[in-house]
Amino acid sequence: MDPRDTPGYRLHRALSNLNSIDIEQLEGDDREQIERARAILEDASPLTGADRTAAETSQSRGGE
C-alpha cells in the first residue's frame, strides 16, 4: 500500500498546506477559518493532538 494513502499522511499534508498559507494577507473571516481548520486538524492528528491541552483547544476554537 502506498503510504500516501494513509489517513495520517493526508492529515499531515492538509495541515502542512494550511500552515503554508500567509494568513496576514487574508481578510478577518478567512483568517479565522484557517485558524479553526488548523486547530481541528491538530486535534485530529496523532502527531500533534497529544501535545495540545484542552485549554489550548478551547482558546483556538473561540471558547466554544
pLDDT (tens digit per residue) in 25-52 = 999 999 999 999 999 988 887 766 555 5
Q: Give me the number of domains the chain comprises.
A: 1
C-alpha cell at 51: 501535545
Q: How far apart are CA 64 and CA 4, in angstroms?
A: 33
Residue 48 forms part of a structural domain: yes
What is the reported pTM?
Answer: 0.61
Residue 57 scores a pLDDT above 60: no
Residue 7 forms part of a structural domain: yes
Residue type, 57: T
- Mean residue pLDDT of the chain comes to 79
Helices (H), 1-64: 7-19, 28-44, 54-60
Residue 22 forms part of a structural domain: no
Residue 38 forms part of a structural domain: yes
Higher-confidence position of 9 and 35: 35
Residue 53 forms part of a structural domain: yes
Distances (CA, A) of 16 to 1, 5, 41, 49: 22, 16, 10, 15
Residue 39 belongs to what domain range? 3-17+27-60
Residue 58 scores a pLDDT above 80: no
Q: How far apart are CA 34 and CA 21, in angstroms?
A: 9
